Amino acid sequence: MCPFLCSPSVETPDVYIVERLFSSSLVVVVSQSMPRRMNVYHFKKGTEICNYSYSNNILAVRLNRQSLVVCLEESIYIHNIKDMKLLKTLLNTPSNPSGLCALSISHSNSFLAYPGSDTIGEIIVYDANNLVKILSTMTMIPAHDSPLAAITFSASGTKLASASERGTVIRVFSIPEGLRLFEFRRGMKRYVNISSLSFSPDAQFLCASSNTETVHIFKLEQHSPSGEEQAPSWSTYVGKMFTAASSYLPAQVSGMMSQDRAFATVRLQMAGQKNVCALATIQKLPRLLVASSDGQLFIYNIDPQDGGECTLVQKHRLFGSDKEWEETEKSKLMEPPQACQSYAATVAIPTSGPVTATLTGYSEDGGAKKGEVIPEHEFAAGPVCLDDETEFPPCVGLSCPSVHKHSN
């Protein structure tokens, strides 16, 4: 029985990780009843492709067209997505109880990022294609003074954004050089828990959501050189005044003044709910998508020129019956379930045709149990469409035949 069935007549196990390979039929599922086992399904056919078991609980799964990455608390496994062969095991990684990691979706820049320390905000960047650490002169990016809370790659894999547990400063680095490109200040008054970071498809904007009611959107633009002539304006004079004043202030205060603020913001209708955000182009317009753990999806318009407060244009209910929804709306006593951030289907636009592999996967070092591997990737030919059933076919009435398990 498939654990991702949406039919109300079918009992659904306690799934806590679901990752989809872009717009294909390949779905990876991990349940709380079997937290050490990863099941890979072809959800259109309703069949299990394979399953792998690991030595400890699975905390995160990341996918791209080359690799499937499984993150445990102190180890990371890299599989070949075409045949599920275990390519590399990264053992004795710094303690990572939240399973924080990021895998770029670019075919040419397939990079894996994960924490390099559990006490400060260091980032290790790993070449998932060549299976070696990059940054030959520096194996880690010293991103923050406190431990990491969120990391994400741009679609091209050439930029990496990060936030620490304090949640006040967000930084963007060039990859593979590891140079700091941008520094944004989310706020000064209070620490927050950053729940997600996401670049726009063109990497011109970066959004950040947290446990507060505000989502911030930052614009990644290089400031004009100081010697370049600019049209005089009030903001120009004020900017020069602050620049001059900052030279007389302590370094920490001066750094705060030089950090860019949010270009646009969204004030959510709820606070305290865990949520994830994404930037996308829908109907040729930039949009912000925010999904909350109580099953709501909000779509906002963004003014790419002036920014400011974004306007809500659509609101969708993702799960739950109408009666349950009405009762929840009235009571406002919603308890967010534990969920794992999913990124795979937000900004992908396939560039290659269908890929089919019929090889049998295996494990070289005993880190995982092998299973039958018959991946069949059916890539769509366009952007994500929320109302297109061919893009998101309804998961109703599927049934999965039993699959023989193979073990080492």
- Residue 243: its H or E element: helix 234-246
Beta bridge partners of 19: 28
Using alpha carbons only, give the angle 328, 329, 333 rounded to the nearest 5 degrees. Answer: 55
Q: Does any domain span residue 112? A: no
Of 266-280, 297-311, 346-360, the least confident: 346-360
Within-domain flag for 337 = no
Give the pLDDT confidence score for residue 406 in this predicted structure: 37
The structural domain count of the chain equals 1
The rounded distance, in Å, linking the Cα atoms of 55 and 58 is 9
Asked if residue 303 has pLDDT above 50, the reply is yes
Contacts of residue 86, defined as CB under 8 A and 6 or more positions apart, other chains included, come to: 77, 78, 79, 361, 362, 363, 364, 365, 367, 368
**pLDDT at residue 210 tops 60:** yes
- Look-up: residue for tokens 């927050």? 192
Per-residue CA distances from 245 to 189, 230, 258 (Å): 22, 20, 11
Among 63-67, 252-256, 287-291, the least confident range:
252-256
- Please tell me the predicted confidence (pLDDT) of residue 18: 93
In this structure, is residue 175 part of a structural domain?
no
Per the domain annotation, does 325 fall within a domain?
no
pLDDT at residue 360, as a whole number = 33
Which has more pLDDT, 86 or 132?
86
Would you state the pLDDT for residue 384?
A: 43
Residue 332 lies in a domain: no
Angle at 196 between CA 382 and CA 213, to 5 degrees: 115
Task: Give the domain range for residue 378.
Answer: 1-100+343-408
Q: Is the pLDDT of residue 374 over 60?
A: no
Of residues 325 and 363, which shows the higher confidence score? 325
Whether the model pTM is above 0.75:
no
**219 pLDDT higher than 70:** yes
Confidence band, pLDDT 50/70/90 cuts, at residue 184: very high
Residue 54 in any domain: the answer is yes
How many whole angstroms separate alpha carbon 250 and alpha carbon 79? Answer: 49
Span 345-368, pLDDT tens digits: 333 333 333 333 333 333 333 344
Q: Is residue 306 part of a domain?
A: no
| Residue 171 belongs to a domain | no
